[in-house]
């Protein structure tokens, strides 16, 4: 492909997401149409995902400190804090709905979560590639999930979940924007852009594999 200016390249990735997601069965909303034990499991898996994102992003902040400007460092630190708070908020949902004192470190999530967050995101050594995969791709799928969850939760009368989703949607949008801004700075040459697009597409695949793993586990449970 011919080299694009950075803003055009970011828009190209957004369009790539829109085109790619239309060809897939988007399983996130199905989690939150459930009730009882299946919804409980969905909450547990979501708490684990937020904590995994917290840990992986905190390590990335240290790993890429040498290439980040002060504004990016502040925004990444804020994202780490927000991801940890999202995990805490989901634990509150579990407490309110199921009277469960959930602890992430005492629960084993689906193996696809480990593959996505720790094995894939956590091993990326290229700064632009990490933010293309984790923020621009992974956080975009998370944003999509929350937007769908808010709608399904309201329709199903799960106002606690709806309020949680609606409260953090603006934060997830900022996480996506942060990733896009950092990768845009790295998308200078045609070679850069080819590399970053591959990270973006691989990030989508990793995140979708994780969501499919959760969905398989939930649907295998008794309603």
Give pLDDT tens digits for 167-180. Answer: 999 999 999 999 99
Looking at the domain assignment, is residue 66 inside a domain?
yes
Look at residue 110 and give its three-state secondary structure: coil
Instruction: Return the closest-CA partner of residue 185 out of 67, 11, 74, 80.
Output: 67
Q: Is residue 191 part of a domain?
A: yes
Please check the confidence at residue 27 and state whether its pLDDT lies above 70. Answer: no
Residue 24 domain-assigned? no
**pLDDT score, position 46:** 93
On whether residue 104 sits in a domain, the answer given is yes
Residues 6+ apart with CB under 8 A from 105: none
Does some domain include residue 122? yes
**CATH number of the domain that 174 lies in?**
1.20.1260.10
The two three-digit tokens of residue 31, written as one number: 């989690």
Structural tokens at position 183? 């990768």
Please say if the pLDDT value at position 42 is more than 70: yes
Q: What is the mean pLDDT of residues 6-21?
A: 92
Query: What is the C-alpha separation between 175 and 62, in angstroms, rounded?
Result: 17
Distances (CA, A) of 106 to 47, 101, 102, 189: 12, 11, 8, 46
- Residue 31 pLDDT more than 70? no
Residues whose CB falls within 8 Å of the CB of residue 164, separated by 6 or more in sequence, listed in order: 89, 90, 93
Report the run of H or E that residue 118 belongs to, with start and end: none
Supply the range of the domain harboring residue 216.
30-220
Torsion of CA 64, 57, 170, 157, to 10 degrees: 170
For tokens 């805490």, the residue is 88
Q: What is the mean pLDDT of the chain?
A: 91
DSSP 8-state code for residue 91: H
Total residue length of the chain: 223
SS3 category, 126 = coil
Query: SS3 for 193?
Result: helix
What's the structural domain count of the chain?
A: 1
Look at residue 55 and tell me if it is in a domain: yes
185: alpha, beta or left? (left if phi > 0; alpha if psi -120 to 50): alpha
Q: Which of 117, 130, 136 has the alpha carbon at shortest distance from 179?
A: 136
| pTM passes above 0.85 | yes
Lowest mean per-residue pLDDT among 51-55, 169-173, 209-213: 209-213
Rg (CA), the chain: 17
Q: What pLDDT does residue 148 have?
A: 85
Residue 5 lies in a domain: no
């Amino acid at each position: 492909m011919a080299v694009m200016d950075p803003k055009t390249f970011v828009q190209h990735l957004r369009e790539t997401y829109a085109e790619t997601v239309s060809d897939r069965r988007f399983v996130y909303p199905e989690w939150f149409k459930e009730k009882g034990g299946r919804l409980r499991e969905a909450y547990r898996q979501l708490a684990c995902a937020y904590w995994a994102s917290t840990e992986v992003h905190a390590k990335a902040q240290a790993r890429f400190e040498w290439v980040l400007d002060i504004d990016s460092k502040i925004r990444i630190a804020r994202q780490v804090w927000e991801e940890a708070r999202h995990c805490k908020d989901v634990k509150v949902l579990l407490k309110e709905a199921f009277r469960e004192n959930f602890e992430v470190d005492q629960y084993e999530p689906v193996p696809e979560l480990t593959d996505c967050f720790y094995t894939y995101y956590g091993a990326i050594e290229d700064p632009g590639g990490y933010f293309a995969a984790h923020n621009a791709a992974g956080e975009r799928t998370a944003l999509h999930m929350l937007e769908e969850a808010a709608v399904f939760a309201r329709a199903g009368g799960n106002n606690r979940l709806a309020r949680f989703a609606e409260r953090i949607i603006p934060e997830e949008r900022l996480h996506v924007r942060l990733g896009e801004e950092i990768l845009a700075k790295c998308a200078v040459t045609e070679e850069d852009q080819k590399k970053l697009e591959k990270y973006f597409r691989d990030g989508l695949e990793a995140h979708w594999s994780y969501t499919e793993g959760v969905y398989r586990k939930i649907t295998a449970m008794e309603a």
